[in-house]
A and B are shown apart, each in its own frame.
Chain A
C-alpha cells in the first residue's frame, strides 16, 4: 500500500517535473543564448558563452532602444489609462443604473466579444488611413478603449460592491460622478489592479494591429522590432535574444510582483 503510494507520488512528481522543466527551459535558453553568438545559438549551444557584451553592443547599434522602449511604454500606458477609465465607467453604469434598454445594450456589447479581430482589421485600417492616423500611436489605442471584456469584468465585480455605501454617499449629497470617483474606485482597487495588469500586458504584447498601423522606425514598438530582427534575411540571433529579453522583462516583473492580481485577472472571466 505505502509502496504503491510512493510509486504514485514519484510518477506525479516526474510528470509535473517534466512539465515545469519544459515550461521554464525557453526562458533559460533566452538568457543563455544572449551570451552566445548567432552561430552557436543555431548550433544548439546550451551553455553560457562570452558574446553578451557584443550582442548588447550590436543590439544598440541596430536599434534605437530607448525610443523603441519609450514607444512601447507610451502605447501601453495610454491604452491602460484610457481603457480602464472608460470601460470601468461603463461596467459600473450597466450594473448600477439598470433598465431594460440598457440591459439590451449590454447584451449587444457582450456579443462583440466574439467578433474576431481579423474581420475588423481591414475596415479599421481604412478608417485610420482616412483620418490620417496611420503610423500614430493613438491609432493603436483607439479601437481598444471600450473593451467588452473589461466592461464585463467590472460589471461582474460591481455586483459585490456594497449598495449601502452608495446610499450613504447619496444621503451625504454626493453626486453620481463623485460617488464613482471617491467611493467606488478606492473600494474596488483590487479589481482595478487586476484589470490594469490585463490591459497593460495585452497592450505591451500586442502585435498584429501595431504591425498594420505602425510603419516607420520612429513609431515601432518592441514587439515589432523583435519580430523584424528575427525575420531578417540572415538574422543575428544574439541580437534577437537581447530584444526578447527586453520585451519580456516588464511583463515578467509584473508577474512576479503581483502574481495574485495577475491570476485573479485571468480568472475574472469565469467567476
Chain B
C-alpha cells in the first residue's frame, strides 16, 4: 500500500469518526457544557430578575446566613443518610431470598416488587398523598391493627412528613436496586453456597459473609447512584407538599429550593445558581469516591 493511500484511509477514518460523534458532541457542548459553566458564572452575580451585579463570593456568604438554605441542605442530607442504607439493605435481603430456586412463584414476587419502577414520580407521589391523608387508608389500617392510638399527621407534622418522603422513595426504588443485585447474584457460583450450607453456616451468616462481600462492587455502584439521585430529590416533595416543601420547610430539598428561588418568586438567578453548585460539589465528591473505589478494585 502506498503512503498516500494509507494517509487517505487514515483521513477518511478520522473524518468518519468525527461525523458519527459530531452531532452528539455539539449538542452536549451547547446543552450541558455551556450551561454548567454559565451557572458557575451566574453564581458570582446577585440581584433580582435581569438586574444583576457582580457580587464576588457574596452569594456563598449569603448561603451560610440563609436559614432556608441550611434547612434544605440538612433535609437533603438526612434523606440520603437515612433512606439509602434502609433501601439498600432491604433490596439486598429481597434479592437473596428471590435468588433461592427452591421457593415457588419467584417470578411473580420479582415482578410485583419491581412494579413500582414503572410509575412516574409524579403519579406515585400523588397516590401516596391520598393514601397518607389524615383519615386515609394508611392511618386507618394502622389504627385498626392497633399499631397507633391516634392518626399520624403524615403531611402536617415535620417529623412524619420526612418519614413519609423516606417511605415513598423506598417504595419506588427498592425493586430497582434489587434487580441489580439479582443480576449480580446470577454470576456467583452456587457451589460456594452449597459448601457453606453443608458446613453448617446459617443463612444469615451466608448472607453477611458470602453474598454481601461478593456483591460489593454492585452495592457500591447502587449506593452512589441512589445517593446522587436523592441529592436531586424534587418531584416527590413537590407533589406531596403542593410545591412548598412543608410543613415549615421540613421536606424542602436543595432542588426544590432552587426551583422556588428561580421560578416561584421574583427570580434570583445568581443565588439559585450558587445553591445548585452545592449539589454539583456534593455529586462530584461522590462520583470521585466511586471512581476511586472502582479503580482500587481493578
Which B residues from 175 to 229 make CB contacts under 8 A with A?
Answer: 175-176, 179-180, 183-184, 203, 218, 221, 228
Q: Is the CB of B283 within 8 A of A116?
A: yes
Binary per-residue interface labels of chain B (1-32) against chain A in the complex, 1 for a CB within 8 Å, 0 otherwise? 00000000000011011111101111110011
Nearest-neighbour CB distance to chain A for B271, whole angstroms, equals: 10
A105 at the interface (CB under 8 A from B): yes
Q: Knowing A16-B98, A212-B263 touch, does A118 contact B34 (C-beta < 8 A)?
A: no
Which B residues from 253 to 268 make CB contacts under 8 A with A?
Answer: 254-255, 258-259, 262-263
Q: Is the CB of B122 within 8 A of A146?
A: no
Binary per-residue interface labels of chain A (103-122) against chain B in the complex, 1 for a CB within 8 Å, 0 otherwise? 00100010010111111111
Q: Which of B112, B120, B171, B273 is in CB contact (< 8 Å) with A122?
A: B273
Residue picked from A41, A86, A115, A151, most chain B C-beta under 10 Å: A115
Segment of A19-27, A52-60, A61-69, A188-196 in the binding face: A19-27
How many residues of B are counted as interface, with CB atoms below 8 angstroms from the partner's CB atoms? 98
A217 at the interface (CB under 8 A from B): no
Which B residues from 99 to 116 make CB contacts under 8 A with A?
Answer: 100, 102-103, 108-109, 111-116
Q: Which of B14, B24, B234 is in CB contact (< 8 Å) with A146?
A: B24
| Complex-state Cα separation, A50 to B210, whole angstroms | 53
List of A residues within 8 angstroms of B243 by Cβ: 231
A124 at the interface (CB under 8 A from B): yes
B293 at the interface (CB under 8 A from A): no
List of A residues within 8 angstroms of B176 by Cβ: 266
B60 at the interface (CB under 8 A from A): no
How many residues of A are counted as interface, with CB atoms below 8 angstroms from the partner's CB atoms? 86
Specify the chain B residue showing the minimal Cβ separation from A5: B102
Binary per-residue interface labels of chain A (88-112) against chain B in the complex, 1 for a CB within 8 Å, 0 otherwise? 0110111011110010010001001
Q: Knowing A44-B140, A122-B269 touch, does A112 contact B32 (C-beta < 8 A)?
A: yes
| 19 A-B contact pairs sorted by A residue (CB < 8 Å) | A13-B103, A16-B97, A41-B136, A42-B134, A43-B136, A44-B141, A90-B24, A99-B17, A102-B18, A109-B24, A114-B228, A121-B262, A146-B27, A205-B121, A207-B235, A212-B263, A223-B122, A227-B126, A231-B239
**Which residues in B have some Cβ–Cβ distance to A below 8 Å?**
13-14, 16-21, 23-28, 31-36, 38-39, 42, 90, 93-94, 97-98, 100, 102-103, 108-109, 111-124, 126-131, 133-141, 171, 174-176, 179-180, 183-184, 203, 218, 221, 228, 231-232, 234-235, 238-239, 242-243, 254-255, 258-259, 262-263, 269, 272-273, 276-277, 279-280, 283-284, 287
